[in-house]
Structure 1
Amino acid sequence: MQPVPRITVEVPVLRVGASPSDYENLGTRVDVLRRRQGLHMTLLHIGILEDFARDIVQWNRGTTSTEAVTRTTSAWLQALPVLDAFSGTAARLTVLGGGSVCGLEVEVPEQVRDFQVGLVQALHRLLDELLVDNIDDFILSSRALGYRHPHWTPHVSVGRPASRDRRPLDIEPLAIGFGASRIRNRQALPATGPAGTPPAGRQAPDD
Structure 2
Amino acid sequence: MRASHPTAERLPRITVEVPVLDVEAPLESLGRYVDSVRKPEGLHMTLLHVGILDRLATDVVAWTGGIASADVVIREVSSWLRGLPVLDGFLGKSAKLVTLGGGRVSSLEVEVPQAVHDYQTLLVQGLHVLLDDLGLDNIDDFILSSPALGYRSPRWIPHVAVGRARTKHQEPLVLETVALEFGSSRIRNEASLPSVV
Q: Decide: shared fold, TM above 0.5.
A: yes
Match of 2:58 in 1: 54
- The answer (yes or no) to whether the contact 2:103–2:169 under 8 Å persists in 1 is no
Q: Which amino acid aligns with 2:36?
A: V
Deviation track 1:9-40 (CA, whole Å, cap 9, x = no partner) reads 000000111x5xx2221122211101111100
After superposition, the CA RMSD in angstroms is 1.4
**In the alignment, structure 1 residue 130 sits paired with structure 2 residue 137:** no
Match of 1:148 in 2: 152
Match of 1:41 in 2: 45
Distance 1:121 1:187 in 2: 24
Deviation track 1:98-139 (CA, whole Å, cap 9, x = no partner) reads 121000000000000000000000000100110111111111
**In the alignment, structure 1 residue 92 sits paired with structure 2 residue 99:** no
Distance 2:169 2:76 in 1: 43
Distance 2:120 2:191 in 1: 22
Distance 2:137 2:192 in 1: 28
- Alpha-carbon shift at residue 161 of structure 1 (Å): 1.6
Aligned with residue 15 of structure 1, among 22, 41, 63: 22
Mark the CA change 1:141 to 1:164 in structure 2 (over 3 Å): closer, same or farther.
Answer: closer
Distance 2:16 2:165 in 1: 25
Distance 1:154 1:53 in 2: 27
Which consecutive aligned stretches of 4+ in structure 1 deviate over 3 angstroms post-superposition?
none
TM-score, normalised by the number of residues in structure 1: 0.88
Identity %: 57
Match of 1:29 in 2: 33
Match of 1:158 in 2: 162
Unaligned runs of 5+ in 1: 194-207
Distance 1:117 1:43 in 2: 9
Distance 1:52 1:165 in 2: 28
Mark the CA change 1:170 to 1:191 in structure 2 (over 3 Å): closer, same or farther.
Answer: same
Distance 1:165 1:47 in 2: 24
**In the alignment, structure 1 residue 77 sits paired with structure 2 residue 81:** yes
SS of match in other structure, 1:13:
strand
TM-score, normalised by the number of residues in structure 2: 0.92
Q: Which amino acid aligns with 2:45?
A: M
- Alpha-carbon shift at residue 162 of structure 1 (Å): 2.7
